[in-house]
Structure 1
Amino acid sequence: MRARACPRVLVLATTFPRWVGDSEPAFVWDLTCRLTGRGYGCTVLVPHAPGARVQEEWEGVRVIRFRYAPEPLEKVCYEGGALPNLRASWRARLALPSLLVAQRAAIRRLIGSGDFDLVHSHWIIPQGFLAAGACRKGGIPLLLTAHAGDVFGLRGPLRRSARMALGGASAVTANSRATAEAVRSIHPDSDPILIPMGVDLTQFTQAPDENRVQLEGNPSLLAVGRFAEKKGFHVLIEALPKLLERLPESHLHLVGFGPWEARLRELASSLRLDSRVRFHGPVPHSEISSFFRGADLFVQPSLADAGGDREGLGVTLLEAMATGVPVVASRSGGIPDVLEDAEHGILVEPGNPTVLAEGLHTLWTSPERLRMAEAARARVSERFSWDSIADRFADLYTRLLSFKRAH
């Protein structure tokens, strides 16, 4: 058999940019692009979305988006994430079985083609579970990367599926200690390797200072992310009246989209905060640093949602820290891995508007605010740069492929 020019990797995910300049989280793309630059030939398989191309190539990465329903019904993934969408939309629930059938067929077809040396599944379920049998049959190493919703709060068949996937994996990575602990609670024999997602330091630490959006408020508060329960934006809105009692010129700016948007808007209106809360909608990832640079404080009020899902790491928190904006965040999920209280910002208990308002007031009035922001910037540069993260994944790829060749 002729040797390949480079090792071929099949990357599986359910969150991925739908097109260039999309506002969907880009961390799978960011990592895959850098691994391609390190000598791996990567193909990404993700669900299709309305308006997206079925196949295309980005910077040497082949992207395949499998169809699973008539385009108006392809509502499971994107614009809020699969779990929040399934809870909020009957259309998403209706399309879920066909998504799983189509995803399974696409995974089996690609693995069975013999074109790949390694499979890397972001999220353990569903795609890690669906790939495990085909990888075992084909003798192909399977790397699972746990992010959050694929391990937190799993019950019944979902938990059993995750356990089976973990049992069939060649290696497992987790983005935080909390995620790793959740992995071990599902499959005690798993030994997850801690590798977080990263930050593009060029975009977030080296952009010119004039590249900023002017955000109203003194202070101007910024929160960025999917409008879903676990992001805790409803708690932030509920905290604003308490903050206004002490900082009457405060304004809140929300960047994002998702199934909770209508609920958040109604909450702001019911609290008579329409003039104080601005919804900016989705913003392309390439432009998000200009919002960080225009904010006085960044807020990550994440919490455990009704299903037990929580923040695996908090990539937007990392990006805010890299930009140098002072941050207040909840002590939830993997966030304490990123931010040490009173050293890099303020950590507060999740789900409590009064405590959150107090934390915001404390940071804004603290003479240590700018020192903490600079310490946070240095921490991200030292520990979370995409270059160092990609190097760690590339080393793991090499070890898995070497083990495959030896056997």
Structure 2
Amino acid sequence: MKVMQLLPELNSGGVERGTLEIGRALVAKGHESVVVSNGGRLVPQLQQEGTRHLQLAIHKKSLSSLFKVRPLRRLILQEQPDIVHVRSRVPAWITYFALRKIPQKNRPHLISTVHGMYSVNAYSAIMTKAERVIAVSDSVVDYIHQHYPHCPKSSIVRIYRGINLKEFPYAYQPSAAWWNTLYQLFPQLENKTLITLPGRITRLKGHEYLLNLISELKQEFNVHGVVVGGADEKKQGYLDELQQRVVDMDLQEYVTFVGHRSDIREWLAASDLVLSLSTQPETFGRTTLEALALGTAVVGWNRGGVAEILNRCYPAGLVEPENAEALFKKIHQLLATPMPPAPVQDFQLSQMTDQTLALYQEVIGLR
């Protein structure tokens, strides 16, 4: 079969990673994989793994994107995919208008993936109007049922995201060279108990909870808070605000912002505890899963996709949402008596790719 996936750009993030993973799985099984996007730094990897990339500016949230309807329709007629799989709202709208003028008998099957709990409005509703709607967790299934009741329950398919356990092996330890480089760059981290908050710098990630925790814990434990994640231009003001708070709280020796890192596996493995404290429910929580797979304990709010992962893999890490006192108690308990997680059995990448390809084949078989 031939599958065309559409997304805004190919730079970084869960949507992009999922696109590459499905492309790789399609090629491995002898199918044809095509991706349409505005391009980005992951394009060479995508092509190296056997997927063709077609560049089209389907990334802008503006009415000018409607000028891409005809070019996309031409691409679809030219490529004749069996499946068109949309992974984001702007590409979904452009695809919707592009398919309307293609005769039913020549039209590919349409599949969408709801990767996020988007703002609830007519613009977001487009993600629920495909033949099959993939939800990346049970929390997303509930979100669709609650906010888009027009979407038939029979159309929604829950397929968890997954990770490759070979890339995140249990009890993995970074190399001596990595540790040496780390201590050269950040000597303040040596011989410390590292409490890490991974993720891009945005107000949603709960950095304030980390600062308050470190402020309280440093009286009793040799802790250091690490923020792994960069700030894009729009978020630079918030990063400045956080760094000022560190100064105001006199935490300069106890908190380090390490910026965007490509060695996230090493940081998660080097950490004593990883936190997931987003102020909104996460749709899945891949970083939580990666840390647990490596054998690092994770503490997170009991909601959304993170709660689904923790319930199955490390229930000791669950905390009542937004309850700072319960969070402190939980972290204190785990620092005093460490409880490493057991090896992860669920949420494997192969399960995600097998279920997605099976869904493609099922939908094609319906015609």
- TM-score tier by shorter-chain length is 0.7 to 0.9
Give the equivalent residue in structure 2 for 1:241.
215
| Separation in 2, partners of 1:96, 1:54 | 25
Superposed counterparts of 1:5-404, under 5 Å: 7-14=1-8, 16-17=10-11, 26-49=17-40, 57-67=47-57, 96-97=61-62, 100-101=65-66, 104=69, 106-123=71-88, 125-138=89-102, 139-148=107-116, 151-154=117-120, 159-167=121-129, 169-188=130-149, 189-191=151-153, 192-205=156-169, 209-211=173-175, 213=179, 215-216=189-190, 218-247=192-221, 249-258=222-231, 259=235, 260-284=238-262, 287-304=263-280, 310-340=281-311, 343-366=314-337, 369-370=339-340, 373-374=341-342, 377-378=343-344, 382-403=345-366
Q: What is the deviation of 1:272? A: 2.0
Q: 2:220 is paired with a residue of what secondary structure?
A: coil
CA change 1:233–1:64 in 2 (3 A) is farther
Taking structure 2 as the reference length, the TM-score comes to: 0.83
CA change 1:128–1:67 in 2 (3 A) is closer
Give the equivalent residue in structure 2 for 1:82.
none
| Separation in 1, partners of 2:240, 2:200 | 13
| Separation in 2, partners of 1:354, 1:323 | 28
Paired residues of 1:183 and 1:190 also in contact (CA < 8 A): no
Paired residues of 1:297 and 1:328 also in contact (CA < 8 A): yes
CA change 1:227–1:271 in 2 (3 A) is same
Give the equivalent residue in structure 2 for 1:87.
none
| Separation in 1, partners of 2:290, 2:275 | 12
| Separation in 1, partners of 2:45, 2:194 | 41
| Separation in 2, partners of 1:359, 1:140 | 51
Q: Which amino acid aligns with 1:392?
A: Q
Q: What is the deviation of 1:339? A: 0.6
| Separation in 2, partners of 1:99, 1:117 | 28
| Separation in 2, partners of 1:162, 1:153 | 7
Paired residues of 2:195 and 2:225 also in contact (CA < 8 A): yes
CA change 1:31–1:54 in 2 (3 A) is closer
Indicate the RMSD between aligned Cα atoms, in angstroms: 3.0
Paired residues of 1:144 and 1:172 also in contact (CA < 8 A): yes
Equivalences, count: 345
Q: What is the deviation of 1:136? A: 4.8
Paired residues of 1:235 and 1:352 also in contact (CA < 8 A): no
Q: Indicate the larger mover: 33-42 or 345-354.
A: 345-354
Q: What is the deviation of 1:387? A: 1.1
Q: 1:329 is paired with a residue of what secondary structure?
A: strand
Paired residues of 2:20 and 2:46 also in contact (CA < 8 A): no
CA change 1:204–1:303 in 2 (3 A) is same
Structure 2 spans left out of the alignment, 5+ residues: 183-188
| CA deviations over 1:26-85 (Å, ceiling 9, x no partner) | 233223322321233112222345x787997231012334348xxxxxxxx7xxxxxxxx
Q: What is the deviation of 1:364? A: 1.8
Structure 1 spans left out of the alignment, 5+ residues: 1-6, 69-76, 78-94, 305-309
CA change 1:312–1:116 in 2 (3 A) is same
Q: 2:54 is paired with a residue of what secondary structure?
A: strand
Percent of pairs with identical residues: 23
Paired residues of 1:16 and 1:29 also in contact (CA < 8 A): no
| Separation in 2, partners of 1:32, 1:57 | 10
CA change 1:257–1:396 in 2 (3 A) is same
Paired residues of 2:83 and 2:109 also in contact (CA < 8 A): yes
Taking structure 1 as the reference length, the TM-score comes to: 0.75
Q: 2:30 is paired with a residue of what secondary structure?
A: coil
Q: Which amino acid aligns with 2:114?
A: A
| CA deviations over 1:325-361 (Å, ceiling 9, x no partner) | 0111112322111112994441123334443322211
Paired residues of 2:113 and 2:133 also in contact (CA < 8 A): yes
CA change 1:23–1:131 in 2 (3 A) is closer
| Separation in 2, partners of 1:298, 1:345 | 13
Q: 1:340 is paired with a residue of what secondary structure?
A: helix
